Structure 1
Amino acid sequence: MMLLLALSLPALAVAQEADKTVPKVSYVTLVPAFVGNFGNGPRMKFYKADLSLRVPNAEAEAKVKHHEPLIRNQLVMLFSQQTEESMSTPGAREALRAEALKQVQSVLAQEEGQPLVQDLLFNNLIVQ
């Protein structure tokens, strides 16, 4: 029994050390969902987007939540400038996601001095 305990202690120490080196990633979901119209032409087009932002730690999460109104404003402006083509195909949606990430990082870099957000994810994007 003592031998088993002695052998398990180094493994436990390695597991605890591994926990310290793995970064704790957080996701900030922007609630409520973004809903609005976009495009130009005779017929109105609408979108609904559920977004989450991936941040590296709890400190960054708090800062992102603090600047959420400014982030939301920037994203609403971006989405409202889109065309039907830029919201309909998977490749175009990926380009929109990349541009949205870039704009969020730009806002946070201006406000906090660093981008803070690692990725932007569309949990749901409905266009009609």
Structure 2
Amino acid sequence: MLKYLLVISCLLIPLTSQSSNYAYYGFEPDIVTNYVAVRKNLGYVRLTVELMVPSESIDIVEHHSPLLRDAIIDIIGKQPEEKVKSIKGRSEIQLKCEEKVKALLVKETGQPLIKKLLFTQWLDN
């Protein structure tokens, strides 16, 4: 019995020591920006962006949020209409935004700080 308890406790220690509490940081207000449209001169998109962040880093991310918001707006503004309007294109844009935000945070803080960038709402015309 003691042998089994020892094995179970050894298995649980790495799980509890590696677990981290995450919080979500949302940009307020929603991001509204233009993109390159083919049929019209410009189209626009409104999106809600959430960052999955370790709880202890939320203040740091909030401090850098204007820089991160600008980077997201810049990326979306350069996207063609077909990418903005397709599910696959949105996934690519989301990944590009996540990579850019992580790179900016590494440059500013020395760590990527975010685990995931999520588009939780996406409206386009």
Gaps of 5+ in 2: 1-8
Q: What is aligned with 1:48? A: 46
Amino acid of the structure 1 residue aligned with 2:52: R
Per the normalisation by structure 1, the TM-score is: 0.80
Q: What is aligned with 1:39? A: 36
Q: What is aligned with 1:82? A: 79
Separation of aligned partners in 1, 2:86 and 2:93 = 10
Separation of aligned partners in 2, 1:38 and 1:95 = 15
When the two structures are aligned, how many residues end up with a matched partner? 112
Amino acid of the structure 2 residue aligned with 1:62: D
Q: What is aligned with 2:101? A: 104
- Render the CA deviation track for 1:91-110: whole Å, top value 9, x for unaligned: 11111110000010011000
The structure that has the greater radius of gyration is 1
Separation of aligned partners in 2, 1:76 and 1:117 = 18
Following TM superposition, the consecutive aligned residue runs of length 4 or more in structure 1 with deviations greater than 4 angstroms are none
Separation of aligned partners in 1, 2:33 and 2:67 = 17
Identity %: 25
Gaps of 5+ in 1: 1-13
Shift of 1:42: 5.7
Whether the 8 Å CA contact 2:38–2:81 is kept in 1: the answer is no
